[in-house]
Homo-oligomer: A and B are copies of this chain.
Amino acid sequence: MTEYNDPAVRYYQEVFDQCIHYLSIDGVIFGFHQNQLKVLLLRWKGTDAWSLPGGFIRKAESVDVAAQRIMQERTGLDALYLQQFHVFGEAVRYDQEATWRKINLPVDGAKWSERTISLGYYALVEHSKVIPTPDFLTEVCAWWSLDDVPALLFDHNHIIAVALLSLRKDFNDQPLNHLLPDTFTIPELQRLHETILGLSLDGRNFYKKVMASGQLERLSERRAGTPHKAPFLYRFKPSEPTNRLPTLEAKTA
């Protein structure tokens, strides 16, 4: 266990110099595929240990910009829909020594053994557009179905759980356009809602509700290549206000 990963040590040295100490960002990137809610995870080099994507904030960088940067690098996507959802600030969040061992870092290194406060962000992305890209310390970046997520490094299982609760709390009854492709069918939208809420909905009532919201428009085409009746395609009306929460506007008096 004393075979230190030298490039990793150098990487941390760089982070130590350029970024804010004691502070990190962890990202829960949600995608929806095959009727399942998925998250993007990273496998660390030379290990079978997985974690959430994350990173650090540069000294003169906005926190939101840092989050965008970090998530962009893992997904290849611009202008992600990001939501800050919780600060994980306990003095002891996980067993640091055991964790450094799992990812082959020197246990006694002072640099990375600082306690970190993590700012939790979740992203809603269109699954098919993502190009999963590992970072410097990892060798695999892949989607995991929420139900199958293994035991992760750090307190990342906890972070995912909190992210999911926040997502449920936030989205209420608004359609989740960021998780879907431009066009989709009503049953697909219903599966998405069911998956996030963790319950099953009545298709008739669901249809009425989303139609009543006035945010969808039906296209003339139908989904081709499915068995059974071909469902209509819909899309979110472009002119409508997005379902992003209203921006908190309040300026100094």
Contact = CB atoms under 8 A, between A and B. Distances in A.
Interface in A154-181: 155, 157-158, 161-162, 165
A89 B94 CA distance: 25
- Chain A binding surface, main DSSP class: loop
Q: Which of A23, A165, A250, A251 has the most CB of B within 10 A?
A: A250
Number of copies of chain A assembled together: 2
Nearest to A20: B22
A65 B8 CA distance: 33
Nearest to A161: B250
A60 B91 contact: yes
* Those 10 A-B pairs whose CB atoms lie nearest each other, nearest first: A63-B89, A161-B250, A157-B252, A62-B91, A20-B22, A157-B253, A62-B90, A151-B253, A162-B248, A158-B250
Given A23-B23, A161-B250, 19 more contacts: A20-B21, A20-B22, A20-B117, A21-B21, A21-B22, A57-B89, A61-B91, A62-B89, A62-B91, A64-B90, A86-B248, A94-B252, A150-B253, A152-B252, A152-B253, A157-B250, A158-B250, A161-B248, A162-B248
Interface residues of A, number: 37
10 contacts: A21-B21, A22-B23, A22-B59, A23-B23, A57-B117, A61-B91, A89-B119, A150-B253, A155-B252, A157-B250
